[in-house]
Structure 1
Amino acid sequence: MSSVKRYYDIDWLRAIIVLSLIPFHATIIFNQNPGAIMYVKDTMQVNSLMFLCGIMDRFHMVTLFLIAGMAIYFSLLKRSMKIFIKERFIKLFVPLLTGSLLLNPITTYIWCMNQGRKESFFNHYIGFFTRGPGSFDGLSGGYTPAHLWFILYLFVFSLLGLPIFKWLMKAKSENVLDKLAAFCFKPGRLLLFAIPYCLLYLIEILDEKNPIAYFYVVLIGFVFATREEYLKAICRDKWFYLTLSIILYIIFFNGEPSDGASMIVMYLFGFVVKLAKIIPSFAIIGLFHEYINKNSKALVYLSGACFTIYIVHMIIVTSVGFWIIQYGINPILKYFIIVIISYILSFGAYEIVKRNRLLGLLFGAK
C-alpha cells in the first residue's frame, strides 16, 4: 500500500460545497423558471435568490466532479482494483439504492401535492417505478435519481473509467504525464483543459447533466492528482482564474443574446456559459489550497457527515419548504427559515444514522 498525502483543502472544499447545497436548493423554491428543478415551489419569484442560485449553480457540481476524480486517483494508489470496486458498490451504489427506494418517491409525491394532484402515496410509489421516466426529472411522477444523479454518475464513471485510470497509473504512462504536467505548469495553460469541456456540450445528452462532459471533468481531476505541478499551477494562478471567473459571470448574467441573434453569437455565448462553470472551479481549488489547508476537529466531523447529508438533504428541504411556503410571510424570511430548519434536521439525521451500523451502511455514514 502506498502512502498518500492528505489534502485537507480538498476535504474542506468537498464538505463546504455539499453543505451549500441546502441553501442552493432552497433558492430554487422561489424560482419560477420551469427549467429550475425543485420538488416544491412557492408562488412568488425572488430575483435576489435567483441571482444567488445562478452564482452557485455555475461551479458546485463541476468542482465536486473534479474532486471526485482526484479521490479516485488517491484511492487507487492504496487499493487493488478488486477492493476499489467493492468499496464503490458499498459507498456509492448502496446509498443510491437507498435513496431511490426510500427517499425520492416521497420527494416526488410532495411535488405532486404541491401541484394539487390527487393520488394516494401507495399509487404514486408504484408509479414511481412503473411509469415512463421521461426526462428523469420526476415531475411526471416517474423514476428520477433526483439529486442523487451525482452519485449515479460517479458510480458508473468509476467502473467504466477504470481501464483508463489504471492505464494512466502504469509505468509506461509516466513519461506522458510528466511532459503534460511540465507543459501545463506554465501560466494560464490549464485553460486548455476547459475547451474540450465546453465543446462536449455540443453533444446534446441530458442538457446540463451531460454525462460525457462530466466524465471528462472526472478525468481532469484524476490527471490533476497525478502530479503536484497541477495544484501548484492552480494555486499560483488562482487570482487570474478568479478575475476571469468574475468577467465570465458578468457576461453570463448580462450578455444573453436576443432572440434574433445569429447562431455564431448563440454558440459563443453558450461557450462562455460553460467556461463560467469550470474556470471558477480552478479559482476555488487554488484559494482553498492556499488558505484553507489545515486539519481540525470540525473538518473530521464534517467530512464524516457530508455524504449522508448529501443523500438526505433533498427530502428535508422539500418537506420543510412545502410546510413553510404555506405561511403568508416575507419570502426572504421563508427562505432563511427553510435553510435553518433544513440544516438542523440534516445534521440531526446524520447523528441518528451514524449511531446505527445498518443505517450507516444504507446512508453512507462514516
Structure 2
Amino acid sequence: MRRYDMDWLRVLVFGLLILYHVGMFFVPWGWHIKNNDIYGWLRYPMLFLNQWRLPILFVISGMGTYYALNKRSGKQFALERFVRLYIPLAVGMLLIVPPQVYFERLANGQFQGGYLDFWPSRAFIGIYAEGNFSWHHLWFLPYLFLFSLILIPAFLKLRNNPDNGLLRWIRRQMNKPFGLFWLIIPLYLAEAFLEPFFPVTHALVGDWFTLVFYVFLFFYGFLLMASRNNFWEIAAQRRRLFLKCGIVGFTVWLATILTFEDSTVRHFTEAFLKVFNLWSWILAIFGYGARYLNKPSKLLAYCNEAVYPFYILHQTVTISIGYYLMDLNWGFVPKFLVLTLGTFGISWILYEFGIRRWRAIRPLFGLKVRPKKYDQVGVLTKEAS
C-alpha cells in the first residue's frame, strides 16, 4: 500500500531544505556566498531545522528502499539506483554545480570574466575547495548510492527472513512507548566518539562520522518498514509523546550549548541530547504525517515527481540570485523574499519547461521516462489509458 504521508514528508522536507539554503545566505556560518549584513538571530531556527532535516531524509530513503527492493532482485535494484542516483549526480557535477563555484569565485575575487571563460576550461581543474570540481549540495546522492549498494545483502536477508531475531526485536520495541529510542545508541556512539576526530566534510573519502551516522539512519528506515508491525499507526498514536520529547530535547540541548563552556562532560551530554532530540522529532513528524497527510491528491502527484529535480537545481538558482543581491542595501525581508520566491519560481520554470516534458532529459534528473502517449501536461490520453 502506498504511503502518501511518506511522499508528502519527502516533499515538505526537501522544501525546508531550500529554505534552509536560503537562510545560509544570512547566518554567520560559512557558506559559498554571504549577504553584506549577517543576522545572528536566524541561527536559532536554523539550528532547530539542522538537527533533523538531513537525518529524516535518510530515514525516508531507507523506507523507500524497502518498497523498491520488494519489487526487484538485488541486481535490478542496483541498476535502478545507478540510473536514479549516479546519472543525476554526474549531470549535476558537470552542468548544475559549476555556476555555484563560478559565482563564489567572482564574489571572492578569485576569478574575473564571463561564465563561458570559466566553463568548461576552469570548472574541472582541481578538487573544491582548493580547486573547482565539486558535487556541493549533491553530496546526498553519492552517500545514498553507496549505502544502497553495500546494504543490499543485509536488506535481501531481512526481506527473505521476516521472522528473524532483529525484526522480532524491533516489533517488540515498537509496542513500548520509548522502545524505539534504543535505536539512538549507535547514533550516540558515533556522535560522541567519531565526530570529534572526523569533522563533517561531505567528501565521502575519510568522512567517517557522516558515513557511520547516516548509514544507521538509512538502515533504520528499512528496518521500520521491514518489521511489518504497523509503524505508522503506532507513530500516530504516540505523536504527542514524541513531540514533547522533541521540545524538551531541543530546549535542553540549546540551553546546554549556550550555558556551558566546551568540555568533555559537555561534549558527551550534548551528544546524547542531540541524538535524542533529532530522533524524537523524526518520530513526531512521522506520527503527525501518518495522522494528517496520508491522502492522495493531484498536487502531491505533481510535487512528488518535481521534488528531485528541484533538489538538483535549487542551490544553483539560490547562489546565482544571491550574487546579485549580496551587496544591495536592502533589509532582510525583501532579500529573503526575493531569494525564496526566485529559487522556487526559477526552479519550477526549469523543471516544467526544460525537464518534465522532455523524454530525453527526464532520466538525467532522476525521473522515469513516460509513455509516448502522455500529453503535454503529463496526463495519459484516452487512447493510452
User: What's 1:165 paired with?
Assistant: 155
Distance 1:229 1:41 in 2: 46
Deviations 1:266-301 (A, max 9, x none): 221132123332321111011101111100000000
1:111 is aligned, of 104, 126, 129, to 104
* Residue identity matched to 2:276: L
| Partners of 2:181 and 2:279 within 8 A in 1 | no
Alpha carbons of 1:127 and 1:213: their partners in 2 closer, same or farther (altered >3 Å)?
farther
* TM-score between the two structures when normalised by the length of structure 1: 0.90
1:203 is aligned, of 175, 194, 199, to 194
Instruction: Say which structure is richer in helix.
Output: 1
Higher mean displacement: 293-302 or 24-33: 24-33
| Partners of 1:73 and 1:225 within 8 A in 2 | yes
| Partners of 1:112 and 1:141 within 8 A in 2 | no
Deviation at 1:306, TM superposition (A): 0.3
Aligned positions of 1:144-155 closer than 5 A: 144-155=134-145
Deviation at 1:116, TM superposition (A): 2.1
Distance 1:172 1:26 in 2: 43
1:6 is aligned, of 2, 27, 32, to 2
| Partners of 1:111 and 1:139 within 8 A in 2 | no
* Residue identity matched to 1:27: G
Aligned positions of 1:1-366 closer than 5 A: 5-34=1-30, 38-119=31-112, 122=117, 125=120, 128-131=123-126, 133=127, 138-171=128-161, 173-174=163-164, 176-201=166-191, 202-204=193-195, 205-207=198-200, 210-226=210-226, 227-256=228-257, 260-352=261-353, 353-366=355-368
Higher mean displacement: 228-237 or 277-286: 228-237
Distance 2:279 2:142 in 1: 21
* Paired residue secondary structure (2:230): helix
Deviation at 1:108, TM superposition (A): 1.3
Distance 1:228 1:320 in 2: 47
* Residue identity matched to 2:171: A
Alpha carbons of 1:101 and 1:206: their partners in 2 closer, same or farther (altered >3 Å)?
farther
* Paired residue secondary structure (1:222): helix
Q: Which runs of 5+ in 1 are unaligned?
A: none
* Residue identity matched to 1:98: V
Distance 1:162 1:129 in 2: 33
| Partners of 1:32 and 1:44 within 8 A in 2 | no
Deviation at 1:124, TM superposition (A): 7.1
Deviation at 1:195, TM superposition (A): 2.1
Distance 2:27 2:122 in 1: 27
Alpha carbons of 1:163 and 1:314: their partners in 2 closer, same or farther (altered >3 Å)?
same
Aligned length: 354
Deviations 1:93-135 (A, max 9, x none): 100101011111221111111112235555575555442x3xx
* Paired residue secondary structure (2:294): coil
* Paired residue secondary structure (2:360): helix
Distance 1:43 1:124 in 2: 27
* Residue identity matched to 2:361: L
* Paired residue secondary structure (1:357): coil
Deviation at 1:46, TM superposition (A): 1.4
Distance 2:97 2:51 in 1: 25
Percent identity between matched residues is: 27
Deviation at 1:258, TM superposition (A): 6.1
Distance 1:216 1:128 in 2: 35
Distance 2:164 2:186 in 1: 23
Higher mean displacement: 88-97 or 270-279: 270-279
Higher mean displacement: 294-303 or 348-357: 348-357
Deviation at 1:206, TM superposition (A): 4.4
Distance 2:130 2:261 in 1: 33
* Residue identity matched to 1:331: F
Distance 1:13 1:148 in 2: 20
* Residue identity matched to 2:176: K
Distance 2:173 2:255 in 1: 35
Distance 2:52 2:271 in 1: 15
| Partners of 1:88 and 1:158 within 8 A in 2 | yes
* TM-score between the two structures when normalised by the length of structure 2: 0.86
* Residue identity matched to 1:211: L
* Paired residue secondary structure (2:37): coil
Q: Which runs of 5+ in 2 are unaligned?
A: 203-209, 369-385
| Partners of 2:99 and 2:320 within 8 A in 1 | no
Alpha carbons of 1:186 and 1:259: their partners in 2 closer, same or farther (altered >3 Å)?
closer
Distance 1:285 1:188 in 2: 15
| Partners of 1:65 and 1:217 within 8 A in 2 | yes
Distance 2:101 2:132 in 1: 9
